[in-house]
Amino acid sequence: MVMVGAGGGGLLLELARRHFRMFKEMMDYVLGGLCLLFFLPLMLVCAALIKLHDPSAPVLFQQVRVGLNGRLFKVFKLRTMYADAEKCGKAQWAGDNDPRIIPICRWMRKSHVDELPQLINILRGEMSLVGPRPERPELFESLVRQVPDFERRLAVKPGLTGLAQIRNGYDTDIDSVRRKLKYDLEYIENMSLGLEFRLLFATIAKFRDDGAR
């Protein structure tokens, strides 16, 4: 009671948050490693299909993204688009029936299997299981100018899944980005173990996502 009366409530809250962050990192390494072992056979099958239908480029796709506190890192994905998908050099959102996508790989995007190599990013400490999705630097700079407080998403590690992905789905326009930001900030302000596990369980349903592109 004396601690709370003297401002100790803030100290207890900070200690609770610190312990939560430590447990969250431990959970990322343990669950991330187990998931990588579990999904490795599926990823190998996907890699063989990609190489068979477009042997001209690597199976894994690496792309620079903006991470915690603005730090840049390379995110890993299974390559589901043709090697020259962005030969114009301009970043763009994927659309319905996007011709850049390798036909045999559409199911990988619908099921989000193409995102599974990001488990490697989690084990490297660049991402978390749950958090805001990382943006490409060029898109991030544009969105910061258009959407107030968009940079607040960088307060935590980007995630493989998150509240915005469960409730909002894919970005299609600036309004969907604003909705995503609302959910990302809601997650950041209410981070807890209960919320982490609820989002992880809700992600299972996303392995069949009709809204994915």
Question: If pLDDT is split at 50, 70 and 90, which confidence band does 88 have?
Answer: low
* Residue 19 forms part of a structural domain: no
Strand partners, 65: 73
Report angle CA 59, 60, 63 to the nearest 5 degrees: 140
* Residue 171 forms part of a structural domain: yes
Per-residue pLDDT for 47 more than 70?
Answer: yes
Q: To the nearest whole number, what is the mean pLDDT of the chain?
A: 87
Contacts of 206 by beta carbon, 8 Å cutoff, 6+ apart: 112, 161, 165, 166, 212
* Residue 9 forms part of a structural domain: no
- Mapped onto helix, strand or coil, the DSSP state of residue 5 is helix
pTM, rounded to two decimals: 0.85
* Residue 14 forms part of a structural domain: no
* Residue 62 forms part of a structural domain: yes
* Residue 68 forms part of a structural domain: yes
Closest CA to 180 of 210, 198, 202, 158: 158
Count: domains in the chain: 1
Residues in the chain: 213
- pLDDT score at 86: 58
Per-residue pLDDT for 4 more than 50?
Answer: no
Q: What is the extent of the structural domain holding 140?
A: 26-207
